[in-house]
Amino acid sequence: MPAGLRKWAAIGSGAGLEIVGPRGSERLRVSAVRVRPQGARVLGAYTVEDFQHQPAGTWGGDYAAFLGKLGIRHVAATVVLPRHEVIVRQLSLPGVFGKDLAGAVQFQLDGLHPYNEEDVVSSWTRLEQSSTVLVAIVRGDVVQRYATLFAEAGIKIAGFTCSAAVIYSALRLFGHVPPGEVLAYEAGESGVEIYGESPSKPVFSAAFNINQEGAELERAAAQASAELRFEAASALRPLHEMLGADPALPYAAALSSACPRLCLPLNLLPAEQRQTSSPMVWVPSTVLAALVLLAAGATAALPGFENRRYLSEINAEIAKVQPAAARAAAIDRDIDLTRKRTLLLDAFRARSKADMDVLAEMTRLLGPPAWLTSLDLNGQQVAVAGETDQAAILLKAIDASSQFESSEFVSPPVRTATGETFRIRTTREASRQGKLP
């Protein structure tokens, strides 16, 4: 949706829940907001300590009373699952759209998590104006456990999601365009989560088991900056300062609850268990849309007889030249088809040489002490796996080559007795420029 229309469509009320803390003693942070085109207002917030070991009816009743006091008992909440329970991955799928996109994501899904295929719940969405797909994966028993808890408490849940999705959506809800480089952190009891955005990596989210102050946080920020490929060091800001509300994550989840159609549709809750807000919440939007349609109809009816007569004359002139234009278009299509066939034949002739050039370049870039166990090569990408003494520097070395770009680790490097094993996927520069079939 265009930024201008997005702002005026931002109308609604919502509730956001964030589950925080170590397993077995989680807390539930609750936030409620009211959204209007001019901005969002926090209606209230509170925290339920150790909610899993309290009677569900007790804290569920407190939640219902909280929403009832604010006059938004009808809303269905969005829940941010604990960061340590969710695996967040990104896939770069340039040129893949529609039904092919779902198949491409499913094809790579097994390589994004360590669980059995039957034990996971996943959800994905393509980021706006990007070839990047954001994927969230969680174990099925985690989803079922929390869904059962909220059902026992009588809380309406619209969906389970991850922190990266609600932060990304909150930064763009009112049509704002975030700066090119974003780096923020959210501190918790079990560590710090760092969120970032950059031109080379539209979304970054990682959890670090460190304190929120001191050299450890600076080192984590430096690692995140390297992953985001910032040209210069970017200032690390608390997330609540960037979003304008504290606590930040339940506030961002509440925005997704209030305006689900304007936020990333990344939902880990099975469709049959999702609930929606009362239809009455859309009455203001419906009235506004009706007024807009009435105004548009009145504007369309204003042109008089002269405009209609002028249009008729133009159509008559178009009809006179239509046969000649059709013949010219047919000739252009034939020329274009011949040109494309010629280019395709040339590209196939150059394919073998290009593949040999890639092998030679990889041999040069990954010299001793690095060594490879596998190398997969196709027209668009190259995937390598092997071992070296320090894997982190390989991404920069590969991207420095004129033949590769957008290099990334398929999975984090693993330290061994002799070094670090790695799996890297990179995009061939020639394929992006259309030089390979």
Cα–Cα distance, 57 to 52 (Å, whole number): 11
Architecture (CATH level 2) of domain 350-432: 2-Layer Sandwich (3.30)
**Comparing 80-84, 87-91, 95-99, 314-318, which segment has the lowest mean pLDDT?**
95-99
pLDDT at 283: 61
The share of the chain scoring above pLDDT 90, in percent, equals: 49
CATH fold of 3-285 reads Nucleotidyltransferase; domain 5 (3.30.420)
Query: In the predicted model, what is the mean pLDDT of residues 69-84?
Result: 95
Q: Where in the chain are the domains?
A: 3-285, 350-432
pLDDT of 2 strictly over 70: no
- In Å, what is the CA distance from 19 to each residue of 51, 76, 150? 10, 16, 12
Amino acid (1-letter code) at residue 309: R
Cα–Cα distance, 269 to 147 (Å, whole number): 8
User: 300-320: per-residue pLDDT in tens?
Assistant: 776 777 888 888 889 888 888
Cα–Cα distance, 419 to 356 (Å, whole number): 28
- In Å, what is the CA distance from 103 to each residue of 93, 106, 107? 11, 5, 6
User: 106-148: per-residue pLDDT in tens?
Assistant: 999 989 999 988 889 999 999 988 889 999 999 999 999 999 9
Cα–Cα distance, 398 to 366 (Å, whole number): 9
